[in-house]
Structure 1
Amino acid sequence: MSNLDGKIIVITGSARGIGARTAEQLALQGAHIAVTARSIEGARSAADAIAATGGSAVAVECDVSDLASVESMVSQVRERFGRIDGLINNAAVIDPIGRIVDTDPHAWMRAIKVNLVGAYHAVRATLPVMLQAGKGTIVNLSSGAAFHPLEGWSAYCASKAGLAMLTRSIHLEYGADGIVAVGFSPGVVDTGMQEKIRESGINPVSRLPRASLADPSEPARALAYLCSDAGRRYAGEEVDIRDPDLRTAAGLLPVK
């Protein structure tokens, strides 16, 4: 039996891509999943796919940029399952892509609101539930862009840098209360976001051949490991999918 068996885990932005594959992987290991997305149709489709394979999932509409929407989602999950054991902050946008003076200010602010403020909203709404239980895991989807700027990605880089500090702040303030906070960089993965990146052609990442991109199932397996009790070893840290120890622990092949 997996130590994820019976755990209640919320995944933001999980209608497709890394979020959807992670939901499937966690459900496969016995967790109950709250699949959340701005589109309830997308969330239901992902939740139905999990149910079709015998897993447990509920679809909940949630716009992470809207605190009231996030609080409503958390309330619905608690009503359905009674508690929340884990949160994966996966929801993010890459737009606007462009050099700073060419970007739309409203789109720039929207990226910060989704990628950083949205993650804060989810943390703020779920932390009291976890603290009441005396334990919980929060995994924030980080990126190499949090530490290394890339041309055309000023909003994305800034938001991910802020998210890395949010992870450290959660650990500082609540680590002693049983809360495990981890930042996880999934690498360059074949998702819808990468399609937009390739279309832009603005930096080296956009020119990577699609064949070189990882399948979303790879970070999904690493995320499942980080949500398990064993993931506690990375509390307060930023960990990369290329980390040899993480790959071995998560059952992934070594990086070539």
Structure 2
Amino acid sequence: MSESEALPRLDGAVAVITGASRGIGAATARLLAARGAAVALTARSAEAIDGIARDLRGAGGRAVAIAGDIGDLGWVEAMLREVTETLGTPTILVNNAGMVGPIGHILDCDPAEWARNVTVNLLGAFAALRAALPGMVAQGGGTVINVSSGAAENAYEGWSAYCAGKAGLAMLTRSIHLEYAGQGIRAFGFRPGTVDTEMQGEIRTSGINPVSRMPREAHAPPEHPARVIAWLCGPQAEDLVGRELTIRAPELRARVGLPS
């Protein structure tokens, strides 16, 4: 299946992508911009997202970079206001920002680091949703994609914080669907599988569980989950709204145009 057949045009859409400095977030920003969306990239690394935004503008797209900490809930609200003032009301929110640490057994984890993980992986996504939702509802709808994980339902040794945060995020997706589907909000949880990112490098270094011992070549490139995210932004995904989806599902891969 060709890209033009599988992926929707997103002309007129305004997308906010958290954790957009690298990996899945950066690949998603590039692909959504290529499909016509105006893109707001957010991350802590100003240099990284500034460079991506410049590239997208150089290619004729509309893009802004807003650096800050997704764990700072006040900053999240200010960021969404800036996006609205600069690009327009967001129609797509990709809650991609996340962290895996602290990696270690529960008794070895620092409580403050554990709480930081849940703040980034769950509360940050909630804050971004809460700031974006009024505008989406007012204009009749929008798409929210929460980047989830198999860790949302499977416990992995050494990942208690990550598993707990992702489990909460999965329930947040269900709650969005329950409360706002009737107002045009399309919510998805998306599990991208293991992807060749810096996070996977951190996981490999730990050596604590089977995922950490997977060879690098076993992980997918970030462009694969980015393709699914772009596809979910279009009307062809309507029958999947409200669900937790995994990139490993053969039917989804076929519909998106990924290799089996």
Name the TM-score, length of structure 1 as normaliser: 0.96
Matches within 5 A, 1:67-78: 67-78=73-84
1:42 matched to 2:42: no
Task: Kindly report structure 1 stretches of 4+ aligned residues shifted beyond 4 Å.
Answer: none
- Give the distance between the partners of 1:45 and 1:98, measured in 2 at CA: 34
Offset, 1:33: 0.5
1:98 matched to 2:104: yes
CA contact (8 A) 1:83 1:129 kept: yes
Partner residue of 1:252 out of 244, 250, 258 = 258
Partner residue of 1:150 out of 138, 152, 156 = 156
1:127 matched to 2:161: no
Structure 2: tracts of 5 or more residues without a match: none
- Give the distance between the partners of 2:117 and 2:238, measured in 1 at CA: 30
Structure 1: tracts of 5 or more residues without a match: none
Name the TM-score, length of structure 2 as normaliser: 0.95
Aligned to 1:114: 120
- Give the distance between the partners of 2:55 and 2:239, measured in 1 at CA: 32
Offset, 1:26: 0.7
Query: Paired residues, what number?
Result: 254
Matches within 5 A, 1:186-205: 186-205=192-211
1:53 matched to 2:59: yes
Computed over aligned residues only, the root mean square deviation of the Cα atoms, in angstroms, reads 1.1
1:211 matched to 2:221: no
- Give the distance between the partners of 1:194 and 1:51, measured in 2 at CA: 30
Instruction: State percent identity of aligned pairs.
Output: 54
Aligned to 1:165: 171
Amino acid in structure 1 at the alignment position of 2:71 = S
Aligned to 2:230: 224
- Give the distance between the partners of 2:138 and 2:217, measured in 1 at CA: 46
Aligned to 2:37: 31
Deviates more, 1:77-86 or 1:192-201: 77-86
Measured against aligned partners, the alpha-carbon deviations of 1:52-99 in whole angstroms (never above 9, x if no partner) come to 333321111232111210111111111012211010000001110001
Matches within 5 A, 1:134-145: 134-145=140-151
- Give the distance between the partners of 2:54 and 2:238, measured in 1 at CA: 30
- Give the distance between the partners of 1:243 and 1:47, measured in 2 at CA: 32
SS at match of 1:161: helix
- Give the distance between the partners of 2:209 and 2:176, measured in 1 at CA: 32
